[in-house]
Structure 1
Amino acid sequence: MIYFEDCTVGAETLFGHYDVTRDEVLEFARKYDPQPFHLSDEAAAKTHFGRLAASGWHTCAMTMAVIARHVVDTEQAGLGSPGIDELRWLRPVYPGDRLTVRGKVVESIPSRSKPTIGVIRSENTVTNQDDVPVMRFTSIVMMLRRPEAA
């Protein structure tokens, strides 16, 4: 199990990858962000995107899928998140892109009021297959502290 104490400032994590598909871009856009440049090649061609582009919110959802799988696979003592800071969409994400998600711990704060919990702040970067950053954000995650030895 990975606890709060295991997440030291400066530690870097490769969370994994996500392959963006046209069908998912269209499905997400129809349900949650039905702007023309997320739904139509023709409409997108008339914009600065130049072609069908994923919603920024879809990029967030794909990123969360990668992070959540990593958290489950590595059995982390995570307790959820009160939010994120400084979310920035830097470049468009297109069908056919391969996203890679990485994080770096920048702050580790033990709770004063709840001694069994700590908060980790991480700077996270999502890049495409050309290693070009497409999204950045700072995550705030609550984690259990390591139980004292019996």
Structure 2
Amino acid sequence: MKYLEDMVVGTKASFGHYDVRRDEVIEFASKYDPQAFHLDDEAAAKTHFGRLSASGWHTCAMTMAMLVENLKDSDQASLGSPGHDGLRWLRPVYPGDVLRVETELTEVRPSRSRPEMGSVHYNITVFNQDDKPVLTMKSIGLMSTRPKQTSRSSDV
């Protein structure tokens, strides 16, 4: 298990593989972002997107799926997140795109008020199959600190 104390500023990682599917784009948009350019080919063709595109919020959800999968694989003592800063959608994501994630750990901060936890700050960039960035954000994650060893009275 990786704890807050194990995290090293400057660490970079590249991971994830998400195939963007047309049916998912339409399903997500139908529920959460029902704008015509996310739902209809003809309407999308008349916009600057040129064709059906994924909602930016769907791109965030696909990114989150890759981040969580990586957390499971890296066995981090994650405690969730208080949020993200500086979210930017840099270019459209289209059905047929394949997404991946790159991260850089920029800060590790023990909590002043909660010694059992701290925060980790990452710059996150999501790329498409052409290595073009489609999303950037600054992510803040909460992590457990290493559990303290308790001494037993019989050891004294």
For normalisation by structure 1, the TM-score amounts to: 0.96
Aligned to 2:115: 115
Q: How many residue pairs get matched?
A: 150
- Root-mean-square deviation (CA), in Å? 1.0
- Unmatched 5+ residue regions in structure 2? 151-156
- Unmatched 5+ residue regions in structure 1? none
1:89 maps to a residue whose letter is W
Q: Look up the SS of the partner of 1:58 in the other structure.
A: helix
What's the offset of the Cα at 1:148? 3.4
Aligned to 2:25: 25
1:39 maps to a residue whose letter is L
Compare CA radii of gyration and give the structure with the larger one. 2
Write the deviation string for residues 43-85 of structure 1: whole angstroms up to 9, x where unpaired.
0000000000000000000000011111122221000100000
After the TM superposition, which segments of 4 or more aligned residues of structure 1 sit over 4 Å from their partners? none
What's the offset of the Cα at 1:147? 2.1
What's the offset of the Cα at 1:4? 1.0
Aligned to 1:3: 3
For normalisation by structure 2, the TM-score amounts to: 0.93
Aligned to 2:140: 140
Write the deviation string for residues 8-29 of structure 1: whole angstroms up to 9, x where unpaired.
1100122311110001001001
What's the offset of the Cα at 1:149? 4.5
Aligned to 1:46: 46
Inter-partner Cα distance in structure 2 for 1:7 and 1:91: 31
1:80 maps to a residue whose letter is G
Inter-partner Cα distance in structure 1 for 2:140 and 2:127: 20
Inter-partner Cα distance in structure 2 for 1:67 and 1:108: 18
1:59 maps to a residue whose letter is T
